[in-house]
Structure 1
């Protein structure tokens, strides 16, 4: 895992939940942890790792992930055994 992925991981696990994390950084982090990307229709994207699946809608037009998306990404990371 690269340094920028570690910074994103720490940001995802920081409380209170940040609303200034770019979605592409979260998506890159999930890919770096070994999650497979499954593209859906429109802005829908799913990540699968070790039998766990998380479904998201990419935020648009803003680049930043919504707080609930950061929380959902955190839950997915915890379920797959990834913590800072």
Structure 2
């Protein structure tokens, strides 16, 4: 995993919630963890990791606070915590 991907993953657990994470950066970081990204219709992406699934809506802007919280809970459900991505 590259430093930039680790930085993005760490940002998912940042307090206060980060609102400057680009969607494409989030995609690359999740893929670096080994997640399967399945493109669905309507700009949706299904992310599967360690038996857990999440549906994200692809946008061309930064992720919203709600998106970041959704990804954070997804990663926690996969057994991943902020300490894993410490930089």
Q: TM-score, normalised by structure 2?
A: 0.86
Contact persistence 1:21–1:64 (CA under 8 A): yes
Cα deviation per residue 1:19-71 (whole Å; 9 max; x = unaligned)? Answer: 111111111111111110111102111101121001110124xx211111111
Where 1:82 maps in the other structure, the secondary structure is coil
Q: Quote the residue 1:72 is aligned against.
A: 70
Residue 81 of structure 1: how far off its partner (Å) = 2.1
* Count of aligned positions: 82
Q: CA RMSD in A?
A: 1.1
Q: Quote the residue 1:44 is aligned against.
A: 44
Structure 2: segments with no counterpart, 5+ residues: none
Where 1:76 maps in the other structure, the secondary structure is helix
The 2-side partners of 1:14 and 1:59 are apart by 21
The 2-side partners of 1:50 and 1:11 are apart by 21
Q: Quote the residue 1:2 is aligned against.
A: 2
Q: TM-score, normalised by structure 1?
A: 0.89
- After TM superposition, the structure 1 = structure 2 runs for residues 26-65 of structure 1, keeping only pairs within 5 Å, are 26-60=26-60, 63-65=61-63
